[in-house]
Each structure stands twice: as structure tokens, then as C-alpha cells.
Amino acid sequence: MQFCKKCGAIMMPKKEGTKTFFHCSTCKTKQEGSGIITEKAKSDVKKIEVIDESKQEIYPLVDIDCSKCGHKKAYFWEIQTRAGDEPATKFYKCEKCKYTWRDYK
């Protein structure tokens, strides 16, 4: 790295034919030098995994028997479907066959 003697800005190396010199982009001063010009290109290729949210289960898994296939695990969630002074309705979705049912208890 070299600095311009006239204005103090950073001088960038430039090559014209076989000659290498430093060029100030601020005051346009040229200065001969033996700077080595190297170019580095950083290429980071990152793979991004696409997740289909409709196929992703985000509910807790509980032990309960599915009435359709007999599987022993199901996802569950609660929704307030009735008045506020009554208990919420529990919904279950079988882990295996995806059958959904509700429990009003």
C-alpha cells in the first residue's frame, strides 16, 4: 500500500503494458513503483435448504391411541371454541395416518 505524497490518499497500483505505477484517484498523481497487483475474488457458495412449512409438524407429541389406525402417538393443540368460562377443545392429529379428532373434556 502506498500513499500519495501530494494529498495523502491511498494510491492504487495500475499496470500499463510492462510498467507498473501507482495512481491517485483523488488528485490524479502518478508515481512509478514496483507494486505487485494481485486480485482476490472470494466466492462463498452456501446451500440453502428450503423447508416446506406445510409438511413440518410444530406441535407437541403425546401418547394417545388413534381410533383410526391404532398408532400410539399424536400431535395435539388446544383452541378456545366455546365460551371463555368453558374449557378449551383439544385437537389430536395422528403421527402416522394424519387423522385428526377432537376431545371436549
Print pLDDT tens along the chain (105 aa): 677 878 888 877 777 777 777 888 788 778 776 655 556 667 777 887 777 766 666 889 999 999 999 999 999 999 988 888 888 899 999 999 999 999 877
Torsion of CA 59, 64, 70, 76, to 10 degrees: -20
Alpha-carbon distance of 28 to 39, in angstroms, equals 22
Rounded to 5 degrees, φ, ψ at 38 are -125, 140
Q: How many domains does the chain have?
A: 2
Domain assignment present for residue 70? The answer is: yes
Domain assignment present for residue 59? The answer is: yes
Q: Specify the pTM.
A: 0.47
At 7-36, the pLDDT tens digits run 888 877 777 777 777 888 788 778 776 655
Residue 9 is part of which domain span? 2-32
Q: How many CB atoms lie within 10 A of CB 17?
A: 5
Asked if residues 13 and 20 have their Cβ atoms less than 8 Å apart, the reply is yes
Domain assignment present for residue 41? The answer is: no
As annotated, the active-site residues are 85-86
Asked if residues 105 and 96 have their Cβ atoms less than 8 Å apart, the reply is no
> Domain check: are 93 and 59 in the same one?
yes
